[in-house]
Amino acid sequence: MASYIERRKFLATLGGAAAAWPLAARAQQAMPAVGYLGTTTPSTAGQLTAAFVQRLRDLGWIESRNVKIEYRWAEGRSERFAEIAAEFVRLKVDVIVTSGAAVLAAKQTTSVIPIVFAAASDPVGGGLVASLVRPGGNVTGLSLQATDLAGKRLEVLREVIPDLRRLAMMANAGYPAAVLEESEVQAAAHTLGLEVATLEIRQAEDIAPAFEALQARADALYVVSEPLVNTYRIRVNNLALGARLPTMHGFRELVEAGGLMSYGPNFPDLYRRAADYVDKILRGAKPAELPVEQPTKFDLVINLTTAKILGITVPPTLLARVDEVIE
């Protein structure tokens, strides 16, 4: 009799577990998924990714507990953008997060899955959204558009190098946002009476020959920031130091890697704000109705170690305005 009762208990337990298993499986499948398309590498974008994940956590989305994040890295290769976006479509993620030219590649891959860009140079002109106020499709996020960033960078360069006359500019000719910034730099340089020599690159192998092609000495180098340059930032800065060229960048990370200085939007802040968009979308908001926002924080960063190597003295008036000094 006792064995019969025990057997009944065992079968009941087994039946309960069997019934519970599909529920658990369904709950696991129901966990929303975010496709995170990094345009560079995990090490390059570590601070940005951490800011994004931490803000999601602040908003109640804890990775692997109630949200799944699928990380994929293009390593500065633009041909990977569409491949990764297609993979996210196959995985049926609930939202894709990316930046730069990868946004357009994602949009061309899917018109259904919501796409949040943490940074895009010209969302309207680039065909990402219909307007900043009402994006109108499956894409929204944060624009990098700001008043005369190129001009402000050149003005800061002139404060550090008062005799600045000839400017070298490195730009990825195959990256639309870089081409747009290149024209802005040309216009700002013309206003300031500067001569510009452009070093065009399209792949990592072009970086060293670009410096070799700069036969006449320039007074400084303006580096147009984009995924390829960001991925190979140490190579760029080492070659610039070898050529005794002070550098101006758009991202702090390039100054941390040996560049002289940068001025531009605070990218960790943009990625934090991208998490706000993801939160709203996961809770039911439509990208078409979420306005594109602008940067609100801009940082001037100077590497005093690099300045010392180059024999440059940063004016006290400029140091007083610097947001971060790297030593």
- In a domain? residue 10: no
Residue at 5 is within a domain: no
pLDDT at 147: 60
Domain assignment of residue 72, given as a range = 31-145+267-297
- Are both 274 and 317 inside the same structural domain? no
Kindly report the CATH number assigned to the domain that includes residue 293. 3.40.50.2300
Q: Is the residue at 3 inside a domain? A: no
Asked if 243 and 209 touch (Cβ cutoff 8 Å), the reply is: no
Q: Per the domain annotation, does 199 fall within a domain?
A: yes
Pair 130, 260 in one domain = no
Q: Residue 62 domain-assigned?
A: yes
281 and 310 both lie in a single domain: no
Place of tokens 């990380």: 71
Q: Count the Cβ atoms, other than its own, within 10 Å of residue 281.
A: 22
Cβ proximity of 216 and 160 under 8 Å: no
pLDDT for residue 27 = 42
Does 101 lie in the same domain as 190?
no
Query: Residues 75, 201: one domain?
Result: no
Rg (CA), the chain: 24
The letter for the amino acid at 209 is: P
Consecutive 10-residue averages of pLDDT for the chain (327 residues)? 47 44 45 96 93 98 97 94 98 97 96 97 90 96 84 95 96 89 94 95 95 86 92 94 95 93 94 98 97 94 97 95 94
Q: Is residue 26 part of a domain?
A: no
Number of domains in the chain: 2
Flag whether 305 is in a domain.
yes
Q: Which of 220, 211, 217 lies closest to 185, judged by CA?
A: 220
Task: Specify the DSSP class assigned to residue 92.
Answer: T
Give the helix/strand (H/E) hosting 259: none
Claim to verify: residue 307 and residue 163 sit in the same structural domain:
yes
Query: In terms of Cα–Cα distance, which of 39, 2, 73, 52 is closest to 269?
Result: 52
Do 35 and 136 sit in the same domain of this protein? yes
Quick one: CA torsion of 80, 82, 88, 94, rounded to 10 degrees? 130
Tell me the H-state helices in 163-302.
176-191, 207-213, 227-231, 233-242, 252-256, 267-282
